[in-house]
Amino acid sequence: MDWSHSLRLVAPEELLSVASLVLLLGAAWARCARDARAITWLAVATLAACAVMVAPTAFTAARGPEVLAFGGLFAADAFAAYAKLLIYAAAGASLLVAPAFFEKLRAYRPEYPVLVLLAVAGMGIMVSATNLLTLYIGLELNSLAAYVLAAFLKDDDRSAEAGLKYFVLGALASGILLFGMSLTYGFTGTTSFTGIAAALQGGVSTGALFGVTFVMAGLAFKISAVPFHMWTPDVYEGAPTPVTLFFASAPKVAALALTMRVTLDAFGSQVAAWQQIVIVAALASIVVGALGAIGQTNIKRLLAYSSINNVGFLLIGLAAATPAGAAGMLVYLAIYVAMTVGGFVAVLMLKDAAGNQVEQIADIAGLSSHRKVLSACLAMIMFSLAGIPPLFGFWGKFVVFQAAVDAGLLPLAVIGIAASVIGAFYYLKVVKVMYFDEPVMKVTGQSNWIHQALLAASALFISPAGYLLTKCLGGLAAAAVAALLHAA
């Protein structure tokens, strides 16, 4: 094993780990909000440096033996690089919006950016994992930091409840995943994804099938796919909004990328063993997400069900089990991150005159009469989430549905399209409340320039101008998938 080569490949994770420890020491001496802000900006700079380090791998479509580290436990290929760029962007956004939110509550502490960096380090290991042991280490590193983040507002009962629920259910899901990994190892004799794929070439025994099922169940919790979605609305509502933004974007990218690597790499030789599971989870997530959101009055809970709904659409690309389906899934994932960041930044900008958060949908009635730009951006995000052309969210759904049709899954695509019409109802309800209801003049607080800049960038990306990126985004996604399948 060439240690220098391996250490060079894991440089982003090394930087994140060292920066986390250094900033943690700095947090011990932080005495005021200004010190906490400085640590936050250093964390953002660390993420930017990591993005610069992994970008060449994504753009050069790196793959093959030269991207394997530590004897094949870790793959720094184009697929991992693509996912990491999305993770760094989402984590950076959650860091930038945090100070203004927590300082209003006098609850901002420098441990927040440190926890985010540790979670991101775990996610980096997750998306690069090529072994069940590496997978579990990355997953738990991410989860342990996430549990603390969910309960970051220790004096807020909702935040404490969110942290407790996330911890208990997360521990249960980790146990299910670990049991599935144990079964998989027992019936294949290896923890390596390549070795598992080779062992399953001759067919799947009953024991191995149970292993695959339990592994998929554990991963379904991490991506909040039905029927393992029950924690999502409560955690998204109870956690501080910057943390909710983080949960809805970065960990979801990592978990979905990990699911793709496990299914297409480790279990890629036996698609029939997991395809039906993915199809059922996709349809259930689309339907439950759409129907569950209809009766919501809290906009964060609505976005939680929207997240479940979008996971269903993403899984349609995985269910196709083709390179086109996987590439479509990655394209949709990039668009989803932009829509999610924009949506939660808009929620953070919904403040009353005293600067308190406004989360009830009824309280944004008539918003367009006095906050025209904010309401227009939020309406764009809602239309894009609904998949209404010409906004960029339509393209994400189009590519996964096209992949499903090309793979012979026409009924799945038809049901998905029909269910997306149901989902459009609750998105349009928010727009209707903002533009057609009698103004209540509740949202009168002003936001800082960081929120405005992030919202503008997200709105621009999901606007029709986003279609200018389709060729570049499609090329990066195709190269990432080629690297993934090459590893398989």
- Element housing 69 (H / E): strand 68-69
Question: What was the pLDDT predicted at 380?
Answer: 92
Q: How many CB atoms lie within 10 A of CB 103?
A: 14
pLDDT score at 339: 93
Q: What is the mean pLDDT of residues 45-55?
A: 94
Q: Can you tell me the distance from the alpha carbon of 353 to that of 361, in angstroms, rounded to the nearest whole number? A: 17
In single-letter form, the type of residue at position 343 comes to: G
Tell me how far CA of residue 482 lies from CA of 28, 126, 265, in angstroms. Answer: 45, 19, 12
DSSP codes joined into one string, 306-341 = HHHHHHHHHHHHHHH-SHHHHHHHHHHHHHHHHHHH
Count of the separate structural domains present in the chain = 1
Whether the per-residue pLDDT at 1 is higher than 70: the answer is no
What is the pLDDT, as a whole number, of residue 32? 66
Contact 336, 314 (CB under 8 A): yes
Between helix 111-128 and helix 78-96 the angle, nearest 10°, is 160
Contact (CB, 8 A) for 238 and 159: yes
Picking from 72-86, 201-215, 452-466, which range would have the lowest pLDDT averaged per residue? 201-215
In whole angstroms, give the CA distance from residue 15 to residue 356: 36
pLDDT, tens only, 3-37? 888 888 899 999 999 999 999 888 888 766 677 88
- What is the per-residue pLDDT for 35? 77
**Single pTM value for the model:** 0.93
Does the pLDDT at position 183 exceed 60? Answer: yes
Greater model confidence, 270 or 245: 245
Note the pLDDT tens digit of each residue in 417-461. 888 888 788 888 889 999 888 888 887 878 888 889 999 999 999
Q: How many residues does the chain have?
A: 488
* SS3 assignment, position 75: strand
Give the mean pLDDT of 285-302: 87
pLDDT of 335 over the 90 cut: yes
**Through-space distance between the first and last CA atoms of the chain, rounded to whole angstroms:** 21
- Please give the structure tokens belonging to residue 121: 């380090």
Give the Cβ contact number of residue 262 at 10 Å.
24
Task: For residue 74, list its beta bridge partners.
Answer: 69, 129
Task: In whole angstroms, give the CA distance from residue 162 to residue 158.
Answer: 6
Task: Identify the H or E element spanning 88.
Answer: helix 78-96
pLDDT digits (tens, 9 = 90+) for 298-318: 888 899 998 998 999 999 999
Q: Does 202 score more than 80 pLDDT? A: no
pLDDT value of position 487: 52
C-alpha 306/C-alpha 382 separation (Å) is 10
Average pLDDT over residues 68-93: 90
For 112, 140, 261, 320, 464, the CA distances from 153, given in Å and listed in that order, are 11, 22, 35, 42, 38
CA angle 478, 483, 485 (to 5 degrees): 90
pLDDT digits (tens, 9 = 90+) for 87-138: 999 999 999 998 888 877 777 888 889 999 999 999 999 999 999 999 999 9
- Mean of the pLDDT values across residues 135-155? 88
Domain that holds residue 428: 3-487
Token pair recorded at residue 484: 């993934």
Mean pLDDT of 203-217: 84
b/e 398-418 (16+ beta carbons within 10 angstroms → b): ebbbbbbeebebeebbebbee
| Cβ atoms of 342 and 462 closer than 8 Å | yes
Name the pLDDT band for 227 (thresholds 50, 70, 90): confident
Mean of the per-residue pLDDT values of the chain: 88
Q: Is the pLDDT of residue 415 over 90?
A: no
DSSP 445: -
Residue 308 in tokens: 């479940």
Q: Which residue has the higher pLDDT, 198 or 44?
A: 44
Proportion of the chain above pLDDT 70, given as a percent: 99
How open is the CA angle 140-144-145, to the nearest 5 degrees?
120
Q: What pLDDT band is residue 488 in, cutting at 50, 70 and 90? A: very low
Reply yes or no: is the peptide bond before residue 323 cis, omega within 30 of 0. Answer: no
